[in-house]
Amino acid sequence: MTEPQAPPTESPGKPHVHVVPLPILLAVFAALIVLTWITVAATRIDLGSWNLVIAMAIATVKATLVALYFMHLRYDKPFYSLLFVTAVLFVGIFISLTLMDTLEYQPDTDPWDETAAVWRQPCEPHA
């Protein structure tokens, strides 16, 4: 004799649906607008190498907000949200490290830029 099974929490024929309240969606939208404004304002201030760090941090926060609320990861299993946030943070770190390495070698490429500028000048027509 088999033991009775517990009923499934979700029926296989129906999709898992949840409705996010409008005030939450508007608050996330407002946060994204404010973060975009901060990103634009940060480009007008010269902070040296910190400009890159600030831009990457803001982009990471914005990507996390979009995934958690508009892609509904916040309302799914917490493990998926943690996995996504961790992945976005690591991608941000890896891109930042790559760009910092590029900035380290920028003085070595400056002479090539000056040579290229000479070659890009338009030629004078021959008489």
On whether the CB atoms of residues 27 and 65 are closer than 8 A, the answer is: no
| Confidence label for 48 from pLDDT (cuts 50, 70 and 90) | confident
Residue boundaries of the structural domains of the chain: 22-109
Q: List C-alpha distances in Å: 107 to 13, 43, 46, 66, 87.
A: 61, 22, 19, 37, 32
Q: What is the predicted pLDDT for the residue at 119?
A: 59
- Tell if the pTM clears 0.95, that is, is over it: no
